[in-house]
């Protein structure tokens, strides 16, 4: 059974708040999450849905769990084939995340 977008976005919602005593690891984690945030904003701009917090959370979650090439391929597919590209991208990413999270 496919999870809903809200279920995916809200599960592990505090994954980026892990605090590590080793500051070097903490800085590395912080850099990783900052890069994820930047990539998510890039997808938002490309899809034309900036400011949509649910979409942003989904894109962040996707960049956390999936390979960037998978996400960008989905973006291109949604822009070229979808009647409503943002909605189609959400469906594609939800499907990819469900596959990744159920198989791991």
For residue 13, tell me if it sits in a domain. no
Beta-carbon count within 10 A of 11 CB: 12
For residue 69, tell me if it sits in a domain. yes
Q: What are the tens digits of pLDDT across the range 23-69?
A: 455 556 788 889 999 999 999 999 999 889 999 999 999 999 999 99
Cα 74 from chain centre: 12
| Number of domains composing the chain | 1
CA distance 45 to 20: 32
For residue 7, tell me if it sits in a domain. no
For residue 86, tell me if it sits in a domain. yes
Domain that holds residue 72: 22-103
Q: What are the tens digits of pLDDT across the range 68-98?
A: 999 999 999 999 997 999 999 999 999 999 9
For residue 6, tell me if it sits in a domain. no
Secondary structure, 3-state, 47-79? HCCCCCHHHHHHHHHHHHHCCHHHHHHHHHHHH
Summary count for the chain: helices (H), strands (E): 5, 0
């Amino acid at each position: 059974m496919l999870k809903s977008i809200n279920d995916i976005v809200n599960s592990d919602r505090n994954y980026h708040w892990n605090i590590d005593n080793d500051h070097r690891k903490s800085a590395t984690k912080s850099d990783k999450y900052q890069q994820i945030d930047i990539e998510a904003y890039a997808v938002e701009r490309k899809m034309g849905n900036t400011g949509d917090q649910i979409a942003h959370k989904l894109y962040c979650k996707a960049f956390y769990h999936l390979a960037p090439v998978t996400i960008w391929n989905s973006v291109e597919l949604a822009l070229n084939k979808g009647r409503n590209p943002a909605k189609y991208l959400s469906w594609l990413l939800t499907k990819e995340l469900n596959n990744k999270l159920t198989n791991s």
